[in-house]
Amino acid sequence: MGFTDFVSNATYDLYEAKLEKEVLEGQMPKHVAIIMDGNRRYAKDVLKTDDTSEGHRRGKDKVEEVLNWCLKLNIRVLTIYALSTENFSREDSEVDYLLKLIIETMYELADDERVHKNRIHVRMIGDRELAPEQLMDAVKCVEERTKDYENYRFNIAVAYGGRQEIVSAVKEVARKVKDGSIDISDIDESSISGHLYTSDDPDPDLVLRTSGELRLSNFLIWQLAYSELYFTDVYWPGFRYIDFLRAIRSYQQRSRRYGT
C-alpha cells in the first residue's frame, strides 16, 4: 500500500468512527427494510464480467455483513427483499442460482452461532405455494430452530409481492366475515395489518434501496405508508458500513410527524 492509500484509508476510518458515534447517539430505527438491488450491474460494471452469478454471490455475502451491522447498532428487525414474484420471470438459470443462494443462506443461518447467541428469529415472508420444495425444506429448518427467539427478527422476502400480500390478507378477512368470525363493520386498518406476513413486526421505520433506482418495486407497500425512504447509487455488493450509517443518519435527521 502506498502512502496516498494509507492516508486515504486512515481518513476513511476516522470519518466512519465519527459517523458511527453520531448515529449511536441518535434514535435508532426499530425496523429497517432493504431492497437489495444492483447485483447484476455490479458484476458488469465493477467485476467486468457478463456472468451475473458472481454479483449475486457477493450480494449474498453482503447480507451477512448487514446483519452484523444491525446487531452492532441494535436494530431489532431487518427485512430484506431477496426474490420477488416478478423475479421468477428471469431466465431459469439465473432463478435457479438465486434460489440456490437463498437455500444456502437459510441453512447457514440455521447453524449460525451468531443467530443463536443473539436469539434472532429468522423467517421467510412471501407466497410459500410458489416456493420450490428444496427452498421450503431450508425455510422450515431455520424457522424451527429459531421459532422461540424474540430478541431480533430477520425476515427474508422470497416469492414476495406487496400487492399479492394485500390480496391474500383481504381474502383471509373475507373468509372470516363469511364464516361469522368477524363482522364486516369491524374491518379496519388493523384487520388488514393483522393478516399480513409481517403482522408480528412493527412497520418499517426506514426503507432503503441500493443501485440508484427510485422506486419501491412492490415491496411492503402497505407497511411503508409512514416509512422514511432512502436511496443510494451504490450497488448492493458494494454497499459499505459507512453507507448504512449515512442512511441511518438521514433517518435520524428527519422529523417524523405522521401527518400532524
| Phi, then psi, of 61 in degrees rounded to 5 | -60, -35
Instruction: Write the CATH number of the domain with boundaries 27-161+203-252.
Output: 3.40.1180.10
pLDDT tens, position by position, for the chain (260 residues)? 554 555 556 778 899 999 999 999 999 999 999 999 999 999 999 999 999 999 999 999 999 999 999 999 999 999 999 999 888 888 889 999 999 999 999 999 999 999 999 999 999 999 999 999 999 999 999 999 999 999 999 999 999 999 999 999 999 999 999 999 999 998 999 999 999 999 999 999 999 999 999 999 999 999 999 999 999 999 999 999 999 999 999 999 986 655 55
C-alpha–C-alpha distance, residues 253 and 149, integer Å: 32
3-class state of residue 207 by DSSP: strand
Positions marked catalytic: 37, 87
Q: Which of 118, 125, 126 is nearest to 150 (CA)?
A: 118
Strand-pair partners of 158: 83
Cα distances from 94 to residues 3, 35, 55, 61, 134, in angstroms, run 42, 18, 11, 17, 16
Q: Which of 144, 70, 64 is nearest to 101 (CA)?
A: 64
Determine the pLDDT at residue 203. Answer: 97
Q: Which of 158, 246, 216 is nearest to 34 (CA)?
A: 216
Q: Are strands 152-160 and 77-84 parallel, antiparallel or unpaired?
A: parallel
Which positions ≥6 away from 255 have C-beta within 8 Å? none
Q: 19: which 3 cell numbers?
A: 459517523
Q: Report the 10 Å Cβ neighbour count for 122.
A: 25
Which positions ≥6 away from 111 have C-beta within 8 Å? none
Determine the pLDDT at residue 260. Answer: 53
> How much is the pTM?
0.92
First to last CA, the chain: 54
C-alpha–C-alpha distance, residues 107 and 110, integer Å: 5
Which positions ≥6 away from 80 have C-beta within 8 Å? 33, 34, 36, 63, 66, 154, 155, 156, 157
Q: 194: which 3 cell numbers?
A: 393483522
Determine the pLDDT at residue 64. Answer: 94
User: What's the CA angle centered on 171, arms 167 and 176, to 5 degrees?
Assistant: 150
Which positions ≥6 away from 71 have C-beta within 8 Å? 114, 118, 152
- Give the residue extent of every domain in the chain: 27-161+203-252
Q: 140: which 3 cell numbers?
A: 422450515
Q: What does the pLDDT look like over 107-120, one tens digit per residue?
A: 999 999 999 999 99
Determine the pLDDT at residue 3. Answer: 45
Determine the pLDDT at residue 173. Answer: 95
